[in-house]
Structure 1
């Protein structure tokens, strides 16, 4: 597979940047969505305010008019921590909006072009937190909803040539992870204790899994959530 064009949200850092680098190196075109600008980005980088659903919906529609996309990777995420009993509903609303709304908007914007081609790839980045991680009620709820969207869309699009899958990373050394989990913190120790490999993932490791699901070789895989988590979803023992 070469010469495809992919839309990636949250593309300028972490997993999104590692994936953009990988796809560009393989000969694909990348259109990335990010808040900032990066002159070294390996493709076209577009700034869209994903907190404004009306504006972002129009922006994605405009992009779909200018580009013939073959697939999308919904990688953008927002996580805030709350113990049960102290969950802030405004934060929950924001996490649901930022995690879910762009996922729906990107897919709906580029779906007509993929249907016309009879080929397409949708990969949603979710998280190990959906299996139950302390302090992440709102974030887990948002990512669990995206897992559900993945299965539903896979069923609806199964006969169109478009596959829909999710990749659920465990703890990965990214800027967003470090904002909530500083080096040497109790939270980091708790995460490492629940990962059988006893290390954090690398953005490039998650990017490799996503790139496979975007490929022709993954054409008979749809509706799946692939955990890339050092074994964290298999079994764990830790003290919350």
Structure 2
């Protein structure tokens, strides 16, 4: 019999931090359901790719319910998200609502979809990928609002579901050297060097650093840790967080 505790649903698992999470979890022996708009370049062993637009509530709900009816997903990682940077005066309602749909509404739908199976099993793990930007960052009105909102939902869900054996935690990445980040911040640029200079560890984070933290929260043995946020930021949140 397949152990249902060995399957993890990861949203946005085809690139960047999500890809590192998928690789780390498959290396750890988990089977992955990768829910994304774009397929990965190659599937990891034990990985299943499911194509769906998480911003389309009806399509996403139908797809997630189909997966949930199997009853074998007791761990989820809400990783999918995006940024539409703008100054306060330039933040449009359309952009704000779009960011809310993916960064805040989709995690709600994912959690609701798999909650019944977790409750029945008296076991569950939910890990939400938020951001250090939840503490505030220029050009991030919509993004920081949604990531701060995700922290609030993390703590609320932890309080509601702890007695059911379900833990809910969040990861707050700082500057991580994804392809997307490096496209706008080349390693040899003065801006990137300035960011690195503010970090106590004096290096950029790697997607694998975030994946390691996610794997820790998903572990069977992490049942006494819930409602927490772990900043994977090279020490940025200790002091000069406003400079990044």
Using the size of structure 2 for normalisation, the TM-score is 0.91
Contact 2:71 2:117 in 1 (8 A): no
Paired with 1:144 and 1:159, the residues of 2 have a C-alpha distance of 25
Offset, 1:153: 0.2
Tell me which of 139, 159, 177 is aligned to 2:143: 139
Pair 1:91-2:95 in alignment: yes
Specify the alignment match of 1:33 in structure 2: 35
Contact 1:3 1:27 in 2 (8 A): no
Distance 1:181 1:89, change over 3 A: farther
Specify the alignment match of 2:85 in structure 1: 81
| 195-204 or 221-230, larger mean C-alpha shift | 195-204
Q: Secondary structure at the match of 2:87?
A: coil
Deviations 1:191-236 (A, max 9, x none): 3344222322100111000000000221100000000100011101
Offset, 1:27: 1.4
Residues matched between the structures, number: 240
Offset, 1:180: 4.9
Specify the alignment match of 2:128 in structure 1: 124
Pair 1:213-2:220 in alignment: no
Deviations 1:34-78 (A, max 9, x none): 112236212001111122122111111111113511110000011
Paired with 1:110 and 1:36, the residues of 2 have a C-alpha distance of 22
| 81-90 or 164-173, larger mean C-alpha shift | 81-90
Tell me which of 4, 7, 10 is aligned to 2:9: 7
Offset, 1:131: 1.4
Paired with 2:4 and 2:66, the residues of 1 have a C-alpha distance of 25
Q: Could you say what the CA RMSD is over the residues aligned between the two structures, in angstroms?
A: 2.1
Using the size of structure 1 for normalisation, the TM-score is 0.92
Contact 2:81 2:103 in 1 (8 A): yes
Distance 1:4 1:25, change over 3 A: same
Paired with 2:13 and 2:31, the residues of 1 have a C-alpha distance of 13
Specify the alignment match of 2:20 in structure 1: 18
Q: Secondary structure at the match of 1:171?
A: coil
Contact 1:173 1:201 in 2 (8 A): yes
Q: Secondary structure at the match of 2:210?
A: helix
| 51-60 or 183-192, larger mean C-alpha shift | 183-192
Q: Secondary structure at the match of 2:170?
A: strand
Paired with 1:52 and 1:134, the residues of 2 have a C-alpha distance of 29
Distance 1:237 1:20, change over 3 A: closer
Higher fraction of helix = 2
Distance 1:132 1:24, change over 3 A: same
